[in-house]
């Protein structure tokens, strides 16, 4: 053997990309790309293992994707064919070395100086050919199943070339059950005695639960019976699947398998959540992805040659979680029932492959178990465990593929290529510099379905199955390189709290149920998700359809698109109208509020203005009053002066009148001596007597002045008269009140007189009484004296004196006696007076 073995370290081995000379089919080219991509990725991977870490702040645990290697034993046939050439060497439980056999392409390349003859790979754990199914389960999937029982979504996928033992590992046989039946046993063992036996709560869309009514439950039971009835039907062909080959129909049970229940990190008693009275409901589905189409393996295969299988649509809910629309979910009550469902799926799978003339190993099969935790009428949580048996990863150059086979191989390789790309991208995103890089999950159905698991919504593990055959060495080497990348992927493991979010509950029509009296908006949103509004067309490969049919499909799609656009336009118009109306309403309301505010402001200003006006008015009045008072004070003339002045004015007026009279008579008869005399007399009088007349030379002026004076005087007189009237009035009032007071005084004086008289009378009475008392005392003294002088004690007499005597000894009695006597005295005096 000329091959050189280099065991320096893994990175040095991986640093040289494998440059196999591959046949140049387009599909191989794809596959080459996968490997080149993978290899170029490998060149960047450090040999240092990234240790598991826990984010310090959050609840998310980061952990490397668990990748387990399982090496199957040689079959007798393989041994006889000289397949055992020591290609696979297991160094320890984590390291395996692949040694190129002499006729392999790798060896040839190595001889040419391209690549290495030996490659070293490390895994989470390696299981050799002698490993039993039980041991394998215990050391790989069991912990994952426990996480699933606690509410985490989990995925197990097996990867490897055809005939490497993938199906054996997942399903096994009735005598030697694989991880799926063992997982089912653990699940049903865990929920023993706590099974929810009704079928009225069913998985819906991705993470929802649908509440079924009585009829729907009936329908469910019928569906289940119909699916299980498929087992009894005849005519299923024999397949290479071990579980079908060896199973004795119809009974099939794995419950006899025993496990070490105490092994592993999971301790049932530790889980507080499991101590409550919750019940569990288990639902299973079984599907396959073939040629990039998803088929329900529980759906009977159409017997007619012209009838095609219905491809199911992969949809997404509003949270971006993928699900297969229309996939059958069957309620199972035991491992046996679940295994029957598995067998039905296997039969359908092989029947379909026979009908389509292909091997069932060319498709990916997915068995999913949904576990609902129900408390009363509430679904507390739902977790999902998927076991995915991937199609054989070998290239198709060996089988000289063409036509349908070529396309099929391309699709298989494509989905595995995308899976590889996704894993490589996830690995690259761990690099701080290349974070948030594009991960092509949506480019294949397989990766779309498990996107959420890889994006932190669950836990995954990968099982790499290989055989040790020299004839498939090159393919096995590719598988190992692929797994080396996968192992570098660091998965974000969700915390329990994140996983225990309760699923949404929908009604029988799929509409979200009212929760606590409030419509679950999130659920409603999900219900109306865009994906759901689209029609579910048959997603089967359309490229094989005739042109005419394709044109028809295009036309239909165009119509649908137009209808959708029309609907959108109508919706948009409605929304715009609604928004416009709402805005108008809002504007009107704000306008009204503004008007009201303005009115209020106007009123308040008016009021303020009025108050101010009133204030000024009062101030002006006050001012005018003060001015008037001042003027009156200034113009005030004492009454005496005024009267004297008035008299003088009257004299003057009188004189003036006389003079005018004389003047008139003189003018009418100037020769009259009397007039003359009197005129002269007057003139003399004027000249001699009145100095004032002398000063007033001009008569009219004097007149005017006197008139003015007269007027003023009159005014003053009037005001004075008014004052006099007021004074008189006040005086009269005062006189009246004086009279009144005087009357009152008189009455009081009368009363005083009466009182005085009374007092006098009383004094008299008192005097009389005092006299009486003194007389009585004297009498008493006399009596005392007599009694002292008398030798014998006289008999007590009943009479006034005896009483008085007794009373003297008691002051109270004395006062009573006195009062009595006073009364009698008074009555006697009254009688006397009468
Ligand atoms: N660990 C094992 N121990 C014993 N026999 C095994 C083991 N693994 C696989 N085999 C046997 O090898 C054969 C092929 O295995 P299997 O059908 O599981 O391969 P595969 O990878 O699923 O193939 P395909 O891709 O065609 O489905 C079967 O007969 C199976 O019983």
How does DSSP classify residue 320?
Answer: S
CB atoms within 10 A of CB 779: 13
The reply to whether 161 sits in an annotated binding site is yes
Strand order across the 118-122 sheet: 88-90, 95-99, 118-122
User: Residue 172: CB within 6 Å of ligand 1?
Assistant: no
User: Residue 242: CB within 6 Å of ligand 1?
Assistant: yes
The reply to whether 164 sits in an annotated binding site is yes
What's the whole-number mean pLDDT along residues 47-62? 42
The reply to whether 162 sits in an annotated binding site is yes
pLDDT at 372 over 90: yes
pLDDT at 530: 41
Sign of CA dihedral 710, 715, 716, 717: positive
Distances (CA, A) of 247 to 204, 287, 333, 352, 489: 33, 21, 21, 20, 38
Distances (CA, A) of 523 to 12, 532, 659, 677: 52, 13, 128, 141
How does DSSP classify residue 156?
Answer: E
Question: Please, where are the H alpha helices in 210-321?
Answer: 214-229, 242-245
Q: Which residues contact 780 (CB under 8 A, 6 or more apart)?
A: 804, 805, 808
Report CA Rg, the chain.
66
Strand order across the 490-493 sheet: 53-54, 61-64, 490-493
For residue 158, give the ligand 1 atom closest to its CA: 21
Ligand 1 probe mutation, 68, 71, 72, most atoms within 8 A of CB: 72
CB atoms within 10 A of CB 88: 23
For residue 391, give the ligand 1 atom closest to its CA: 25
Distance CA 110, CA 114 (A): 5
Residue 824 pLDDT grade (very low, low, confident, very high; cuts 50, 70, 90)? low
Distance CA 63, CA 488 (A): 10
Ligand 1 probe mutation, 130, 140, 242, 393, most atoms within 8 A of CB: 242
pLDDT at 177 over 90: yes
What's the whole-number mean pLDDT along residues 528-541? 45
For residue 173, give the ligand 1 atom closest to its CA: 31
* Angle at CA of residue 807, ends 801 and 809, nearest 5°: 115
The reply to whether 166 sits in an annotated binding site is yes
Residue 544 pLDDT grade (very low, low, confident, very high; cuts 50, 70, 90)? low
Among protein residues, the one with the nearest Cα to ligand 1's atom 11 is: 165
pLDDT at 705: 79
What's the whole-number mean pLDDT along residues 147-168? 92
Residue 804 pLDDT grade (very low, low, confident, very high; cuts 50, 70, 90)? low
Residue 527 pLDDT grade (very low, low, confident, very high; cuts 50, 70, 90)? very low
pLDDT at 814 over 60: no
Distance CA 371, CA 357 (A): 36
pLDDT at 86: 87
Residue 224 pLDDT grade (very low, low, confident, very high; cuts 50, 70, 90)? very high
How does DSSP classify residue 543?
Answer: T
User: Residue 167: CB within 6 Å of ligand 1?
Assistant: yes
Quote the ligand 1 centre to 185 CA distance (angstroms).
22
Ligand 1 probe mutation, 74, 128, 160, 163, most atoms within 8 A of CB: 163
What's the whole-number mean pLDDT along residues 646-661? 87
- Helix 26-42, helix 403-429: angle, nearest 10: 20
Distance CA 432, CA 20 (A): 32
pLDDT at 284 over 90: yes
User: Residue 471: CB within 6 Å of ligand 1?
Assistant: no
Quote the ligand 1 centre to 346 CA distance (angstroms).
15
**pLDDT tens by residue, 435-488:** 677 888 888 898 999 888 888 788 899 999 999 999 889 889 988 988 887 877
Among protein residues, the one with the nearest Cα to ligand 1's atom 8 is: 165
User: Residue 171: CB within 6 Å of ligand 1?
Assistant: no
Quote the ligand 1 centre to 627 CA distance (angstroms).
129
Between these two residues, 826 and 231, which has the higher pLDDT value? 231
High-pLDDT (> 90) share of the chain, %? 24
* Angle at CA of residue 118, ends 113 and 124, nearest 5°: 140
CA dihedral 722, 723, 727, 732 (to 10 degrees): 10
Domain regions of the chain by residue span: 68-231+276-494
Residue 34 pLDDT grade (very low, low, confident, very high; cuts 50, 70, 90)? very low
Quote the ligand 1 centre to 165 CA distance (angstroms).
3
Among protein residues, the one with the nearest Cα to ligand 1's atom 9 is: 165
**pLDDT tens by residue, 726-746:** 888 888 888 888 888 889 999
**pLDDT tens by residue, 737-784:** 888 888 999 999 999 999 999 999 999 999 999 999 998 989 999 888
Q: Is residue 713 within 8 Å of 649, Cβ to Cβ? A: yes
Distance CA 299, CA 307 (A): 13
Quote the ligand 1 centre to 132 CA distance (angstroms).
13
Q: How far, rounded to the nearest angstrom, does the alpha carbon of residue 775 sit from its chain's CA centroid?
A: 113
Distance CA 611, CA 621 (A): 15
pLDDT at 6: 34
pLDDT at 537 over 60: no
Q: Which residues contact 584 (CB under 8 A, 6 or more apart)?
A: none
pLDDT at 156: 95
The reply to whether 160 sits in an annotated binding site is yes
Residue 304 pLDDT grade (very low, low, confident, very high; cuts 50, 70, 90)? confident
Between these two residues, 418 and 681, which has the higher pLDDT value? 418
**pLDDT tens by residue, 554-600:** 887 888 888 888 788 888 888 888 888 888 888 888 888 888 888 88
518: helix, coil or strand? strand
Quote the ligand 1 centre to 126 CA distance (angstroms).
17
pLDDT at 133 over 70: yes
Quote the ligand 1 centre to 467 CA distance (angstroms).
9
pLDDT at 152 over 80: yes
**pLDDT tens by residue, 671-718:** 655 555 555 555 555 455 455 555 555 567 777 877 888 888 888 888
Q: Is residue 203 within 8 Å of 504, Cβ to Cβ? A: no
User: Residue 346: CB within 6 Å of ligand 1?
Assistant: no
What's the whole-number mean pLDDT along residues 37-55? 33
Distance CA 448, CA 281 (A): 26
Looking at CATH, the fold of the domain delimited by 68-231+276-494 is given as Kinesin (3.40.850)
User: Residue 116: CB within 6 Å of ligand 1?
Assistant: no
Measured in degrees and rounded to the nearest 5, phi and psi for residue 670 equal -70, -25
**pLDDT tens by residue, 109-130:** 888 877 788 899 999 999 999 9
Residue 270 pLDDT grade (very low, low, confident, very high; cuts 50, 70, 90)? very low
User: Residue 364: CB within 6 Å of ligand 1?
Assistant: no
CB atoms within 10 A of CB 802: 11
pLDDT at 60: 57
High-pLDDT (> 70) share of the chain, %? 68
Question: Please, where are the H alpha helices in 438-546?
Answer: 445-449, 451-452, 473-488, 496-499, 521-527, 530-533
* Angle at CA of residue 288, ends 282 and 290, nearest 5°: 170
pLDDT at 259: 35
User: Residue 472: CB within 6 Å of ligand 1?
Assistant: no
- What does pLDDT average to over the chain? 75
Among protein residues, the one with the nearest Cα to ligand 1's atom 23 is: 163
Quote the ligand 1 centre to 163 CA distance (angstroms).
5
The reply to whether 163 sits in an annotated binding site is yes
304: helix, coil or strand? coil
**pLDDT tens by residue, 344-362:** 999 988 888 777 666 667 8
pLDDT at 45 over 80: no
Q: Is residue 128 within 8 Å of 93, Cβ to Cβ? A: no
**pLDDT tens by residue, 246-265:** 333 333 333 333 333 333 44
Q: Are strands 364-375 and 279-290 parallel, antiparallel or unpaired?
A: antiparallel
User: Residue 335: CB within 6 Å of ligand 1?
Assistant: no
Distance CA 120, CA 13 (A): 7
For residue 171, give the ligand 1 atom closest to its CA: 18
Q: Are strands 154-160 and 459-466 parallel, antiparallel or unpaired?
A: parallel
Q: Is residue 462 within 8 Å of 67, Cβ to Cβ? A: yes
């Amino acid at each position: 053997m000329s091959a050189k073995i280099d065991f320096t370290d893994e990175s040095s081995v991986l640093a040289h990309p494998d440059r196999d000379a591959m046949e140049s089919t387009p599909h191989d080219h794809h596959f080459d790309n996968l490997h080149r991509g993978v290899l170029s990725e490998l060149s960047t991977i450090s040999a240092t293992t990234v240790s598991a870490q826990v984010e310090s702040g959050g609840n998310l645990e980061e952990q490397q994707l668990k990748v387990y290697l399982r090496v199957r034993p040689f079959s007798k046939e393989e041994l006889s064919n000289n397949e055992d050439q020591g290609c696979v060497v297991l160094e320890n439980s984590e390291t395996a070395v692949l040694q190129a056999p002499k006729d392999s392409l790798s060896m040839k390349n190595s001889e040419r100086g391209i690549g290495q003859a030996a490659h070293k790979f490390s895994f989470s754990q390696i299981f050799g050919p002698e490993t039993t199914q039980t041991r394998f389960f215990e050391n790989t999937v069991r912990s994952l199943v426990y996480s699933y029982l606690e509410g985490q979504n989990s995925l197990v996928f097996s990867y490897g070339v055809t005939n490497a033992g993938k199906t054996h590992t997942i399903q096994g046989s009735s005598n030697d059950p694989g991880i799926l039946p063992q997982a089912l046993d653990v699940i049903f063992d865990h929920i023993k005695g706590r099974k929810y036996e009704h079928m009225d709560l069913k998985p819906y869309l991705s993470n929802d639960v649908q509440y079924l009514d009585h009829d729907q439950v009936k329908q469910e039971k019928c569906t289940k019976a119909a699916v299980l009835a498929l087992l009894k039907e005849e005519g299923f062909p024999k397949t290479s699947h071990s579980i079908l080959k060896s199973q004795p129909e119809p009974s099939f049970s794995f419950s006899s398998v025993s496990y070490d229940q105490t092994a592993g990190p999971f301790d049932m008693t530790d889980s507080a959540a499991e101590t409550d009275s919750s019940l569990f409901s288990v639902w299973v589905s079984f599907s396959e992805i073939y040629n990039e189409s998803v088929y329900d393996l529980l759906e009977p295969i159409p017997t007619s040659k012209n009838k095609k299988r219905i491809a199911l649509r992969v949809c997404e809910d509003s949270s971006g979680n993928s699900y297969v629309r229309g996939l059958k979910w069957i309620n199972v009550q035991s491992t046996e029932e679940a295994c029957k469902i598995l067998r039905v799926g296997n039969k359908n799978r092989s029947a379909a492959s026979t009908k389509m003339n292909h091997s069932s190993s060319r498709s990916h099969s997915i068995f999913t178990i949904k576990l609902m935790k129900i408390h009363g009428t509430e679904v507390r949580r739902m977790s999902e465990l998927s076991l995915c048996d991937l199609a054989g990863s070998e290239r198709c150059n060996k089988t000289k593929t063409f036509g349908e086979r070529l396309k099929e191989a391309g699709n298989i390789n494509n989905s595995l290529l995308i899976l590889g790309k996704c894993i490589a991208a996830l690995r690259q995103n761990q690099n701080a510099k290349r974070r948030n890089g594009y991960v092509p999950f949506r480019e294949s159905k397989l990766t779309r379905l498990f996107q959420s698991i890889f994006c932190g919504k669950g836990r995954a593990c990968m099982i790499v199955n290989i055989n040790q055959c020299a004839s498939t060495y090159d393919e096995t080497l590719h598988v190992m390189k692929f797994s080396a990348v996968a192992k570098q992927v660091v998965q974000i493991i969700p915390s329990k709290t994140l996983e225990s979010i309760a699923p949404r509950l929908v009604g029988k029509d799929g509409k979200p149920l009212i929760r606590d009296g409030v419509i679950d908006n999130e659920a409603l949103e999900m219900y109306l998700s865009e994906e759901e509004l689209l029609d579910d067309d048959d997603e089967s490969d359309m490229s094989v359809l005739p042109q005419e049919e394709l044109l028809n499909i295009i036309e239909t799609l165009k119509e649908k698109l137009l209808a959708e656009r029309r609907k959108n336009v109508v919706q948009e118009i409605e929304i715009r109208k609604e928004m416009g109306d709402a805005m108008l309403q809002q504007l009107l309301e704000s306008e009204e509020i503004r008007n009201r505010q303005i009115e209020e402001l106007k009123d308040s200003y008016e009021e303020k203005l009025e108050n101010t006006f009133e204030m000024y008015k009062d101030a002006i009045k006050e001012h005018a009053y003060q001015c008037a008072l001042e003027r009156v004070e200034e113009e005030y003339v004492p009454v005496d002066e005024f009267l004297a002045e008035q008299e003088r004015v009257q004299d003057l007026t009188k004189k003036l009148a006389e003079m005018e009279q004389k003047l008139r008579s003189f003018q009418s008869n100037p020769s009259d001596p009397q007039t003359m005399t009197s005129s002269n007399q007057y003139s003399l009088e004027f000249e001699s007597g009145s100095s004032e007349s002398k000063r007033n030379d001009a008569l009219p002026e004097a007149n005017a002045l006197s008139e003015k004076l007269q007027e003023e005087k009159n005014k003053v007189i009037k005001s004075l008269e008014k004052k006099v009237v007021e004074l008189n009035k006040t005086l009269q009032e005062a006189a009246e009140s004086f009279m009144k007071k005087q009357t009152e005084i008189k009455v009081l004086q009368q009363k005083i007189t009466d009182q005085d008289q009374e007092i006098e009378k009383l004094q008299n009475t008192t005097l009389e009484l005092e006299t009486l008392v003194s007389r009585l005392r004297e009498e008493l003294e006399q009596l005392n004296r007599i009694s002292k002088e008398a030798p014998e004690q006289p008999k007590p007499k009943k009479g006034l004196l005896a009483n008085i005597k007794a009373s003297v000894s008691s002051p109270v009695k004395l006062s009573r006696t006195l009062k009595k006597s006073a009364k009698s005295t008074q009555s006697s005096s009254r009688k006397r007076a009468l």
